[in-house]
Structures are given as structure tokens and as C-alpha cells.
């Protein structure tokens, strides 16, 4: 029983990492007031770019990762161009990017379907901790991106948002862009930057799938993870470590289903496969089940999320 | 004046000519049509350039695609068959859009509609018209039921319907696949997991694939157009869509409207699935929807939620999809169509913003600002729009 629990923990951590990275990137973008529904398509572009570069050009996982960052940033920048510069409808443009990403990744990835990845991220065992009985393997023998997803990135984003002046500017752009503008903050510049950064991180999340988790390219390899990341940002109440916790819960639910299939539990496998989606759906309700005082403290949706800002219309 | 800003500083001395970008009080329908036509045109040009660069003959491909989709009786029939679910899902998504709600789950609702229609069709026995009516009813109810959780969550707790509706799509696909692989699997069909054949079919209209179900989207489009424009319900929907806070102050029952609109939206998508099953596929399968639910978002986005505009845009995307199927035989993967549809939507969303402005060139008198106040009615209308648009 114990070994099962730790097996679940280990695979939960691995499965949740991709979503943690994507959710953290989107959290940054949303803090500036940009809602990107195109994460799924952006992840796919990252996943396919990483795979192609590794299998076709440089058989090195970091080369693949770089390609994914660039591809994701490009998708993010195109999105930012539409919604920040041209002020187009954010949900519509995000959805459009999903179509673009799904179509384009399927198109350029078609020749590579069902090939193994030529280079992948290998687990790194942390000295001492990695040799602990039971928990060593689950927690301290993971790939580099896993440590990045759960420790480095959330800590950095927390520090950026809550301990720096720049972070205050980010939050101001998402809370009250007109006031931020009046205070001399370049709202659109921040929004463009972090929508692009969010795209780049979604690319990293995609690369994690093809270079570490799966590791192979198949069409639609993301299987809704981009959307789940969006859900986690809401669940987390726009808090970095909340998003990480959500990703772990998602990972745990996924692994339970996976292990259930491996061990032939008497439940149709389709129902076990539904678990991650139903679990995420359940997570969406958690903030509303808390007592209202706690909820008010937790629910910190940026007031101007999804609302384009332009001086002329704000002036009124 | 805060409404406009100067594009380019004019020359010095006396007659200062300025290019100005002005916000329009009201967007003319001509501008909207033009913007969408331009979006489609530029997206196709972009696709043409990419295809050309990959070394394929663009002109002959385009000619063949047009010839085989719109040039033959069979092709037109096929376009109508594909347009039917697209218009329906467009109406479904568009209805929510009227209240600034996003139904990303039309795909799942459509699948559930087809699933419910199959259940009735396999198990019920009786006169064909009765069973068919039951199938359609079950489809609509199943679509609405699939929407129930997101609708309640959105109405009571303001839980993002974007995410909840979308997550249920994946669940619906798994559910339908489960039934096609398991309980309803027709063992006589080899190589593909499909359900038993439903023996009840919606009658054909004129041959060539045109079926009775095609009248349903027309009927719903007209019904929705009239009720959105003419009834108190439609009026309240449009107010809620423009500014929820205003609607709340005016005492409109917000939660009830959200609930009803979302359930209705789910029902329309579910009905689309039932029609598809009863008229076209006759068997349930995991691929019964060719992404109709997602494409419905494109249709609704381009139609900007207007029910009657769903018809031309539904047909447009049906032509694109069928052209993609034709071109697949010429070595152009279907995914290229998916990418192009995305670009169309992106361009259309940008074009939508462009229609809200007009470029004018005015000679400003020395007492600057004089021409700005020349049209006071326009300015106040702009103010009203500005107030209503902010949410």
C-alpha cells in the first residue's frame, strides 16, 4: 500500500509539472490583465518544435527546449499583437490561436508521428535526499524541468509579484490600468511582455511533454492540459504556490486513474480517464465551498482581466 | 476630446490637415461585412502564399476545390450537410455570446445529443415519426443536461463557464467512445468502433443528401432573431450582455437569464448532434462531430452572435471544410484548414476593432477643437456606447 502511495506521488509530480509551468506563465499574463485562452495551441507548438529540433537537427534536450521557448513566445507575441496592440477581443483571439496551434502543429508534426524522441531530459537525483527510502525516488529523482516547475518558477514569480516594484506595476496594470497609466506605468508594454512570456512558458510546458513525460510526439499530445492550466489559475486565486498545489492535485488524480488502469480495477477505463477532467472541474468549485470570509481573501481575480485598455476609451 | 487621437501631425501654417482616427458612434453593417470579407480574403491569401512556398500549384488547387464543393450538385449537397451542424453550433455559441458568456462546450453537448438520440434509436420501437421526434427531443435534452453544471455554476457562483464547458468536452468524447467500444459496439463492422445502426432516418427532401433536418437550423435562426429583437427577454439579454451591473440595478433576474440561455444553448448543440445522427451518420462513433462544436465558435465569432448571420458563415466554413477534404486527396493535410480557420478568426477579431473607427482627414480651424464639437449628438451617442461597452 505504501509503495502504491509513493508511486502515485512520483507520477503525480511528473504529470503535474507541465501544467504547473503553463499555469504559472498564464498567471503572470493574467496579472497584467491579459487572458490567453490559446494555451492549448501554444503548448502544442512548443511540443512539436521541441520534438522536431531534437529529432531533426540537434539531439539535445536543451536545444529542443530553446526551440519550444521561441515557438511559444512567437505564439504569445502574435496573440499579444492582436489583443494588446489592436485591442481585439481576448477570448476570441485566444480561441483563434488554439486553432492555429492545433492545425499548424499537426501539419508540421505529421512526418514525426509515432517516432521516439531522440533526446530527452533525464531524471537528476538530488544528493542525499534522493537516496532517502521511499520518498527519495518520488520527490528527489525527477527531471530538471520538474524542479523548475515546482520550486524555481513559483518562487521567482512570487518574489517578482510581491517583493518588487516591477511586480506592483504588473498588478496595477491588471487591477486598474487607467490609474496605472496615470502613474506612468506602460500598461500595454507590460501586457505585451507578459503575454509573450506566458506564451514562452506554455511552450516549455509543451516541450516537457515531448522531451520528458510522454516522450514522443502525437497530434494533440497536450490532451486538454492547456485548458486545465487555465482552470488552475482560477483555482489558485492567482497565487503562484496555489497553482503549484493545483497542479499536484491534478497530477495525483491523473495517476490514480492511470494506476487503476494498470491494475485492472473493476471500473471501465474510460471512466478512469475522465478523472483528470472531472477532478479539475471539481477544483473550480473549491473556492466557493470555503467560508465567505476566507473566500474573499483568496479570490483575487485582477479586476481588469480580459478588458483591453486604451487611453481614449478610459478617459470618457 | 478624449475620443480621438491624432494619427499624424499636419503641416504648419493656417490650414492644418490632420489624419484622425475617430471612434464611430455606430458600426454600419457594410463596414462589418467588409471587415469580415477582408479577414477571410487575407487569411486565404496567407494560406495561398504558404502553400505556394511549399511548392504546390495554388491556382489549380483552388480551382479544383471550388469546382468540387460549389460546382456540382453533389458538392452543394455536401456543403449543406456540413453547414447544418455548423449553423446549429454557431447559434448555440452565439446565443451565449449575446450575454458575453462563452460556450466552448458545444462539442461535448453535440456528442451527448448524438449519444442520447442513439440510445432512443436503438432501444425504442414504434412508428418512425414518433421515434424520430423522441430522438431529437432526447438530443436537445441531453445537450441541455450536459450544460446544467456549467450553467448552475455560472449563474450562482460566477464560475468561469469557459473552463467548465470545455472540460466536459473531453469527458463527452470518452463517454461516447466507451459506448462505441463497449455496450453499443456493432461487431459486424470491422476495423472501426461504431455503434449499431439506428434504423430510423430523417427523410430526404429532394435527394442529393438534402434532408429534413436542414430546416431546423433555419427555423431556430429565425426564431432566435425575432425573439432577441422583439421580446422583453431579448431586450434584457442584450442589456445584460452590454453591462451586467446596469442590468442588476434595473432589477433584471440575472441568474435566471444566465441559466435559461445556457441551457438553451446546450439544447441547440445537443439537437445538432441528434440531427447529425438521425440524418447523416446513423451510427454513433467517436468522430461523429468533425470538430463542429469548436468550429461553431468560429461561426458565432464571425457572425458576432447575430442569429441570421450564422447562415452565411456556417455555409462559408462548410465550404472551407469540404474544400479541405477535396484538397486532402491532392496531398494537402486537413490540418491546414484548421490553421486557416484560426487565422480567419484572428483577422476577423482584429477587423472587428477596425470597424469601430474611421479615418478622417479634416482641416482644423485655428480655434482647434471646433470641428470636434460639430456633432454633439454623435458625441453623446459615443459616450453612451462607451458606458455600455465597459464591463
For A196-248, how does the pLDDT look when each residue is reduced to its tens digit (9 = 90+)? 999 999 999 999 999 998 888 999 899 999 999 999 998 888 999 999 999 99
Give the pLDDT score at B354: 83
* Cβ within 8 Å of B, A 166-185: none
Q: In whole angstroms, give the CA distance from residue B34 to residue B172.
A: 38
B386 touches chain A (CB under 8 A): yes
Contacts of B233 (CB under 8 A, 6+ apart): B227, B257
**pLDDT for residue B390 is more than 60:** no
Q: Which residues of B touch A277 (CB under 8 A)?
A: 167-168, 170-171
Q: What percent of chain B has pLDDT over 70?
A: 86
A19 touches chain B (CB under 8 A): no
Give the pLDDT score at A302: 87
A98 touches chain B (CB under 8 A): yes
Mean pLDDT of all residues in chain A? 89
Q: Do B345 and A312 touch (CB under 8 A)?
A: no
* Cβ within 8 Å of A, B 356-385: 383
Q: What is the pLDDT of residues B46-60, one digit of tens each?
A: 988 988 887 888 888
For the segment B288-306, the average pLDDT, to the nearest whole number, is 92
Q: Do B335 and A273 touch (CB under 8 A)?
A: no
Closest Cβ–Cβ partner in B3, B177, B354 for A270: B177
Q: Where are the beta strands (DSSP E) in chain B?
A: 5-8, 16-23, 204-207, 210-211, 357-364
For the segment B283-295, the average pLDDT, to the nearest whole number, is 91
Give the pLDDT score at A294: 66
List chain A domain ranges: 2-122+148-298
Q: How confident is the model at residue A292 (pLDDT cuts 50, 70, 90)?
A: low
Instruction: Answer whether 0.80 is exceeded by the pTM.
Output: yes
Q: What percent of chain B has pLDDT over 90?
A: 53
Q: Which of B148, B163, B379 to mutate to probe the A interface, most A CBs <10 Å? A: B163
* Cβ-defined contacts of A2-7 (< 8 Å, 24+): A2/A134, A3/A134, A4/A259, A6/A134, A6/A135, A6/A137, A6/A138, A7/A138, A7/A255, A7/A259
Nearest Cα residue to A68 out of A217, A229, A173: A217
**pLDDT for residue B9 is more than 50:** no
Q: In whole angstroms, give the CA distance from residue B142 to residue B267.
A: 7
Q: Which residues of A touch B342 (CB under 8 A)?
A: 41, 96-103
| CA–CA distances in Å: residue B73 to residues B68, B78, B80, B205, B339 | 9, 9, 11, 14, 28
Output b/e per residue, B305-332; b: 16+ Cβ within 10 A: bbbebbbbbbbbbbbbbbbbbbbeeeeb
User: Strand B357-364 vs strand B210-211: parallel, antiparallel, or unpaired?
Assistant: unpaired
Mean pLDDT of all residues in chain B? 85
Considering only the C-alpha atoms of chain A, give the largest distance between any 2 of them, rounded to a whole number of Å. 65
Output b/e per residue, B82-94; b: 16+ Cβ within 10 A: bbbbbbbbbbbbb
Q: Which residues of A touch B164 (CB under 8 A)?
A: 281, 284
- Give the nearest chain B residue to A229 (CA atoms): B163
Q: Which of B349, B356, B372, B388 to mutate to probe the A interface, most A CBs <10 Å? A: B349
Q: In whole angstroms, give the CA distance from residue A188 to residue A112.
A: 39
Q: What is the pLDDT of residues B365-378, one digit of tens each?
A: 544 444 443 344 44
Write out the three cell numbers for A207: 516541450
Is domain A2-122+148-298 in CATH 2.30.30, yes or no? no
- Determine the distance in angstroms separating the CA of A13 from the nearest CA of chain B, rounded to an integer: 21
Write out the three cell numbers for B330: 491532392
- Determine the distance in angstroms separating the CA of B129 from the nearest CA of chain A, rounded to an integer: 34
Residue with cell 491532392: B330
Give the pLDDT score at B59: 86
- Give the nearest chain A residue to B104 (CA atoms): A95
| CA–CA distances in Å: residue B285 to residues B177, B282, B335 | 7, 10, 21
Q: Which residues of B touch A312 (CB under 8 A)?
A: 2-5, 23
Cβ atoms of B56 and B332 within 8 Å: the answer is: yes
Q: Say which range, A19-23, A71-75, B7-11, has the weakest mean pLDDT.
A: B7-11
Considering only the C-alpha atoms of chain B, give the largest distance between any 2 of them, rounded to a whole number of Å. 87
A263 touches chain B (CB under 8 A): no
Give the pLDDT score at B372: 42
* Cβ within 8 Å of A, B 289-348: 294, 297-298, 301, 333, 335-346, 348
- Using left for φ > 0, alpha for ψ between -120 and 50, and beta otherwise, residue B282 falls in left
Amino acid at each position: 500500500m505504501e509503495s502504491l502511495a509513493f508511486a502515485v506521488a512520483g507520477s503525480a509530480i511528473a504529470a503535474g509539472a507541465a501544467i504547473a509551468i503553463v499555469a504559472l506563465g498564464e498567471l503572470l499574463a493574467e496579472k497584467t490583465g491579459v487572458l490567453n485562452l490559446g494555451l492549448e495551441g501554444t503548448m502544442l507548438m512548443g511540443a512539436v518544435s521541441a520534438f522536431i529540433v531534437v529529432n531533426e537537427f540537434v539531439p539535445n534536450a536543451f536545444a529542443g527546449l530553446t526551440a519550444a521557448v521561441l515557438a511559444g513566445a512567437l505564439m504569445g507575441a502574435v496573440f499579444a499583437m492582436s489583443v494588446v496592440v489592436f485591442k481585439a477581443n481576448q477570448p476570441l483571439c485566444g480561441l483563434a490561436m488554439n486553432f492555429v496551434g492545433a492545425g499548424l502543429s499537426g501539419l508540421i508534426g505529421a512526418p514525426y508521428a509515432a517516432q521516439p524522441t531522440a533526446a530527452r531530459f533525464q531524471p537528476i537525483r538530488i544528493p542525499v535526499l534522493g537516496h532517502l527510502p521511499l520518498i527519495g525516488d518520488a520527490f528527489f529523482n525527477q527531471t530538471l524541468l520538474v524542479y523548475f516547475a515546482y520550486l524555481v518558477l513559483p518562487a521567482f514569480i512570487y518574489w517578482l509579484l510581491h517583493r518588487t516594484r516591477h511586480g506592483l506595476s504588473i498588478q496595477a496594470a491588471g487591477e486598474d490600468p487607467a490609474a496605472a497609466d496615470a502613474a506612468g506605468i506602460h500598461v500595454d508594454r507590460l501586457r505585451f511582455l507578459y503575454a509573450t512570456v506566458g506564451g514562452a512558458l506554455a511552450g516549455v510546458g509543451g516541450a516537457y511533454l515531448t522531451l520528458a513525460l510522454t516522450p514522443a510526439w502525437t497530434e494533440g499530445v497536450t490532451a486538454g492540459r492547456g485548458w486545465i492550466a487555465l482552470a488552475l489559475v482560477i483555482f489558485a486565486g492567482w497565487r503562484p504556490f496555489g497553482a503549484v498545489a493545483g497542479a499536484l492535485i491534478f497530477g495525483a488524480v491523473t495517476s490514480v486513474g492511470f494506476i487503476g488502469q494498470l491494475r485492472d480495477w473493476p471500473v471501465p477505463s474510460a471512466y478512469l480517464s475522465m478523472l483528470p477532467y472531472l477532478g479539475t472541474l471539481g477544483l473550480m468549485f473549491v473556492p466557493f465551498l470555503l467560508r465567505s470570509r476566507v473566500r474573499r481573501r483568496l479570490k483575487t481575480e485582477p479586476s481588469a482581466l480580459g478588458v483591453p485598455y486604451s487611453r481614449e476609451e478610459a478617459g470618457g | 476630446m478624449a475620443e480621438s487621437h491624432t494619427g499624424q501631425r499636419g503641416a504648419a501654417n493656417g490650414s492644418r490637415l490632420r489624419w484622425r482616427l475617430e471612434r464611430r458612434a455606430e458600426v454600419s453593417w457594410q463596414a462589418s461585412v467588409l471587415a469580415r470579407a477582408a479577414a477571410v480574403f487575407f487569411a486565404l491569401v496567407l494560406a495561398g502564399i504558404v502553400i505556394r512556398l511549399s511548392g504546390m500549384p495554388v491556382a489549380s488547387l483552388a480551382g479544383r476545390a471550388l469546382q468540387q464543393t460549389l460546382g456540382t450538385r453533389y458538392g452543394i449537397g455536401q456543403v449543406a450537410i456540413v453547414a447544418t451542424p455548423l449553423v446549429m453550433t454557431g447559434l448555440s455559441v452565439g446565443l451565449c455570446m449575446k450575454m458575453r458568456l462563452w460556450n466552448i462546450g458545444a462539442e461535448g453537448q453535440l456528442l451527448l445529443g448524438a449519444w442520447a438520440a442513439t440510445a432512443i434509436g436503438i432501444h425504442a420501437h414504434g412508428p418512425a415519426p414518433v421515434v424520430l421526434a423522441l430522438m431529437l427531443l432526447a438530443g436537445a435534452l441531453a445537450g441541455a443536461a450536459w450544460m446544467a453544471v456549467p450553467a448552475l455554476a455560472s449563474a450562482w457562483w460566477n464560475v468561469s463557464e469557459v473552463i467548465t464547458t470545455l472540460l466536459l468536452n473531453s469527458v463527452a468524447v470518452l463517454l461516447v467512445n466507451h459506448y462505441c467500444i463497449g455496450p453499443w459496439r456493432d461487431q459486424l463492422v470491422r476495423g472501426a468502433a461504431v455503434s449499431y445502426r439506428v434504423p430510423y432516418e430523417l427523410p430526404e427532401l429532394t435527394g442529393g443528401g438534402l434532408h429534413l433536418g436542414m430546416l431546423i437550423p433555419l427555423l431556430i435562426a429565425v426564431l432566435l432573431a425575432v425573439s432577441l429583437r422583439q421580446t422583453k427577454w431579448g431586450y434584457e439579454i442584450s442589456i445584460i450582455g452590454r453591462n451586467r451591473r446596469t442590468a442588476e440595478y434595473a432589477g433584471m433576474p440575472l441568474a435566471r437569464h444566465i441559466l435559461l440561455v445556457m441551457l438553451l444553448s446546450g439544447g441547440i448543440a445537443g439537437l445538432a448532434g441528434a440531427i447529425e445522427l438521425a440524418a447523416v451518420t446513423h451510427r454513433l462513433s467517436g468522430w461523429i462531430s468533425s470538430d463542429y462544436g469548436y468550429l461553431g465558435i468560429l461561426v458565432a465569432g464571425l457572425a458576432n452572435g447575430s442569429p441570421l448571420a450564422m447562415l452565411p458563415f456556417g455555409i462559408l466554413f462548410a465550404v472551407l471544410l469540404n474544400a479541405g477534404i477535396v484538397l486532402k486527396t491532392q496531398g494537402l493535410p486537413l490540418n491546414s484548414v484548421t490553421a486557416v480557420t484560426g487565422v480567419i478568426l484572428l483577422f476577423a477579431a482584429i477587423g472587428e476593432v477596425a470597424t469601430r473607427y474611421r479615418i478622417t482627414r479634416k482641416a482644423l480651424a485655428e480655434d482647434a477643437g471646433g470641428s470636434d464639437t460639430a456633432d454633439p449628438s454623435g458625441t453623446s451617442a459615443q459616450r453612451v456606447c462607451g458606458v455600455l461597452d465597459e464591463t
